[in-house]
């Protein structure tokens, strides 16, 4: 199996996870009869500190259902220019929800300044769409968004009568990195979307959490977005296994990312134009000089290391990257730059 640094979505279910999936009791979830889905939804809701939760096949669909639950046709949501739910979800909110995105520029640290948010809020005037929601993302490109800032934004939004949604695709990484419980990181947000198919290692699955009323709306929207899944407890059981067994080990991924970043800083010291740009939670960003990118990619792939070198290469550690793998990556790369 190659060492794949392109994303933490590339993990494969472990034998123990497959066993849990194999043994999962199932029923028709559209009737609410799947015990594995029900147990998983309850466990996630409790962990995040919300009354209700809803299982989705993907984070994209979970985010879209959240946006469509918060916003009506002709409303708008404020999000970062580089937020996943604005930039990388095929314009779903606009296309399927008739919701206008109002993207704003990020600060250096990935946050959206209160000033920029305030300036983007529309007055009550028939010329404008109705600003309804502020959506944030944590972690953002691996970076943990500071808790104090999140509290400021949720308080500010509440003050301005806006709803808040958190795209917490990698919120468990933030929880492990900060030592704060998931519920603290969710605090103040009306809805949160969590992915189990990233570093947590499940093959499929995201969960949206919120109030009973909000989740009832989201369930109707989920139906509209493609319907319910039936005996999907097989999938939920993989996610539940990840919730029980793969959260604390995210600390290993963070440690491996640091080892990788440190090793690359040493290894690339002599390579003009190469630079480790940042290392946060399970992501390392590295600049490789343009002239090396194609050959480096071929060389790494020839040695079973998958990455896409660029001016801003994202290297992601996860369940299927071990400490030994990190050393191998560094050795293989060193050989390239020695040659
Ligand atoms: C991956 C990701 C999503 C979407 O999840 P999918 O399951 O791939 O649809 C949403 N937000 C962020 C920040 C992500 O990284």
**pLDDT tens digits for 221-252?**
999 999 999 999 999 999 999 999 999 999 99
Residues of the domain holding 116: 10-245
Phi/psi of residue 110, each to 5°? Answer: 90, -10
Would you say the CB of residue 195 lies under 6 angstroms from ligand 1? yes
Which DSSP state fits 123? P
Which strand (E) or helix (H) includes residue 54? strand 52-56
- The CATH number assigned to the domain holding 53 equals 3.40.640.10
Query: Do 187 and 61 fall within a single domain?
Result: yes
Would you say the CB of residue 78 lies under 6 angstroms from ligand 1? no
Distances (CA, A) of 161 to 98, 121, 134, 218: 21, 11, 10, 20
Query: What pLDDT does residue 339 have?
Result: 80
Would you say the CB of residue 58 lies under 6 angstroms from ligand 1? yes
Give the separation between CA 79 and CA 320, rounded to whole angstroms.
Answer: 32
Residue 288 token pair: 């490789």
**pLDDT tens digits for 166-216?**
999 999 999 999 999 999 999 999 999 999 999 999 999 999 999 999 999
**pLDDT tens digits for 128-165?**
999 999 999 999 999 999 999 999 999 999 999 999 99
Query: Do 153 and 257 fall within a single domain?
Result: no
Q: Which atom of ligand 1 is nearest to the CA of 140?
A: 13
Specify whether the CB–CB gap between 276 and 265 falls below 8 A. Answer: yes
Domain end: 218, 245, 272, which one? 245
Q: Which residues contact 61 (CB under 8 A, 6 or more apart)?
A: 206, 222, 225, 226
Give the separation between CA 149 and CA 112, rounded to whole angstroms.
Answer: 9
Would you say the CB of residue 62 lies under 6 angstroms from ligand 1? no
Cα radius of gyration (the chain): 21
pTM (two decimals): 0.97
311-333 mean pLDDT? 97
Please report whether residue 334 resides in a domain. Answer: yes
Give the separation between CA 109 and CA 138, rounded to whole angstroms.
Answer: 12
């Amino acid at each position: 199996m190659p060492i794949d640094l392109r994303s933490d979505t590339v993990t494969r279910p472990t034998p123990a996870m497959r066993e849990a999936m194999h043994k999962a009791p199932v029923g028709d979830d559209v009737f609410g009869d799947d015990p594995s889905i029900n147990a998983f939804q309850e466990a996630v809701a409790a962990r995040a500190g919300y009354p209700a939760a809803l299982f989705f096949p993907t984070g994209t669909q979970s985010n879209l259902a959240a946006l469509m639950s918060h916003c009506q046709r002709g409303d708008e949501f404020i999000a970062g220019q580089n937020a996943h739910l604005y930039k990388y979800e095929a314009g779903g909110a606009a296309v399927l929800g008739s919701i206008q995105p109002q993207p704003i520029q990020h600060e250096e640290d990935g946050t959206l300044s209160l000033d920029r948010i305030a300036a983007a809020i529309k007055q009550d005037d028939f010329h404008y769409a109705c600003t309804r929601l502020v959506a944030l993302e944590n972690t953002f490109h691996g970076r943990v968004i500071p808790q104090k800032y999140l509290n400021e934004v949720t308080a500010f939004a509440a003050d301005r009568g806006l709803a808040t949604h958190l795209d917490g695709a990698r919120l468990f990484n933030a929880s492990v990195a900060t030592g704060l419980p998931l519920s603290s990181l969710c605090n103040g947000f009306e809805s949160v979307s969590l992915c189990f198919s990233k570093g947590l290692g499940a093959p499929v699955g995201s969960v949206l959490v919120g109030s009973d009323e909000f989740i009832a709306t989201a369930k109707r929207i989920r139906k509209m977005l493609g319907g319910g899944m039936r005996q999907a407890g097989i999938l939920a059981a993989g996610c539940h296994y990840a919730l029980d067994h793969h959260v604390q080990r995210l600390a290993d991924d963070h440690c491996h990312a640091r080892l990788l970043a440190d090793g690359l800083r040493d290894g690339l010291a002599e390579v003009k134009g190469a630079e480790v740009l940042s290392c946060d939670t399970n992501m390392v960003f590295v600049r490789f000089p343009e002239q090396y990118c194609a050959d480096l990619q071929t060389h790494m792939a020839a040695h079973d290391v998958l990455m896409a070198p660029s001016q801003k290469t994202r290297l992601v550690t996860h369940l299927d990257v071990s400490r030994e793998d990190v050393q191998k990556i560094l050795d293989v790369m060193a050989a390239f730059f020695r040659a």
